[in-house]
A and B are shown apart, each in its own frame.
Chain A
Amino acid sequence: MSLVFAISATLAVAGALGMLLSKRAVHSALFVALTMISLAVLYLQLSAPFLGMVQIIVYTGAVMMLFLFVLMIVGVDSSDSLTETLRGQRVAAIAVAVALGLLLTSSIGGAVIASGNSLDSTIAGGNVQAIANLMFGKYVLALEVTAALLVTAAVGAMVLAHRERITPKLNQREQQQARFADYALTGKHPGPLPPSGVYARHNAVDTPALLPDGSIAANSVPAPLQARGSVREVDQVDSQQIVDLSQGNVVIEGGDDGRN
């Protein structure tokens, strides 16, 4: 057992277990990506460099990123419900899978696999050429069927993900009319929201703007930040300093004092 195999196999199993045990789906996706990369290293070790590269490009590059995109759409915090719908199903499932693993490993571990053949010396021209010979020779029909499958999958994905527009699209005039109708009914301000506050020390979106009377404009900070409670306080000393500066009765000290 070589060192490369030991490290890659450990990482692959760790990634698989992490996928199984992590509560959030995003963490699961990243753990699976770790497993895929470890498997690519194992393919390289098994003198299959073409498959190793395809594994990295297709699985970690395309498939897992597709998973992450869908997770972003479906909602990152869509964590699993831990309630069992069937009683005892989880224990039974784990027992069955452990039995399956034991059966597979014991039966394969008992089998004698002739591993005297060397893959590199048998074929002239290298791995990619040998795979190409097979793929466009012996397996050319399967390759053509694969092409049909890929086209079908692309069309199917477009059909499934397509959303038919069932209401007409609003033009600018109708949007304005709706906005002012809303203003007439509920008094909601029809203009844009006030921007965040801009001060000498910070102008990030979490700093609220001040109204002329010195109070805070509530909707100048995005609602998610307010819900998270991470709205920055407007420092009373700071606003006093601004007043002092505008009246010209303060001496500016050298440099930033490091306060935020």
Chain B
Amino acid sequence: MDVTNYIILSAILFSIGAVGVLVRRNAIVMFMSIELMLNATNLAFVAFARANGNFDGQVVAFFVMVVAAAEVVIGLAIIMAIFRTRKTASIDEANLLRA
């Protein structure tokens, strides 16, 4: 059981998520990239918990999941509200906050 492999996988997934946030223009796909980054950090937490032999990392990962779920709910509601006024999900169009 080599924990380093898991950490490297986590770093790779985090980097792919970062590229997604920076490159994609669709708000929903950007959001998915953020979810991917959160999941990558979760994997690192769980791997380190395994390496240290205690469960704190798993509890932290659980809390990250809860916060991510709440964040998804609010974020998607905001995307829908923007879509209603602008008829687009592209972040380039949402450069003004007034409706």
Chain A residues within 8 Å of B58, by CB: 48, 50-51, 127, 131
Knowing A46-B47, A66-B76, A80-B25, say if A20 contacts B19 (CB, 8 Å). Answer: yes
Residue tally, chain B, CB below 8 Å to A? 72
Residue tally, chain A, CB below 8 Å to B? 83
B6 adjacent to A19 (CB under 8 Å):
no
B46 adjacent to A48 (CB under 8 Å):
yes
Chain B residues within 8 Å of A118, by CB: 53
Chain B residues within 8 Å of A152, by CB: 70
A142 adjacent to B63 (CB under 8 Å):
yes
Knowing A32-B35, A113-B51, A163-B84, say if A153 contacts B59 (CB, 8 Å). Answer: no
Knowing A115-B3, A157-B73, say if A13 contacts B9 (CB, 8 Å). Answer: yes
Chain A residues within 8 Å of B89, by CB: 25, 74-75, 78
Q: What's the Cα separation between A92 and B25 when bound, in Å? A: 15
**A-B contacts at CB below 8 angstroms, number:** 233
Q: What's the Cα separation between A105 and B1 when bound, in Å? A: 18
Name the CB-closest residue of B to A147. B66
**Chain A interface residues (CB < 8 Å from chain B):** 1-2, 5, 9, 12-13, 16-17, 19-20, 25, 28-29, 32, 35-36, 39, 42-43, 46-48, 50-51, 54-55, 58-59, 62-63, 66-67, 70-71, 73-75, 78-81, 85, 89-90, 93-94, 96-98, 100-101, 104-105, 108-109, 111, 113-115, 117-119, 122-123, 127, 130-131, 134-135, 138-139, 142, 146, 149-150, 152-154, 156-157, 160-161, 163
**Chain B interface residues (CB < 8 Å from chain A):** 1-9, 11-20, 22-26, 28-29, 31-33, 35-36, 39, 42-43, 46-56, 58-59, 61-63, 65-74, 76-81, 83-84, 88-90, 92
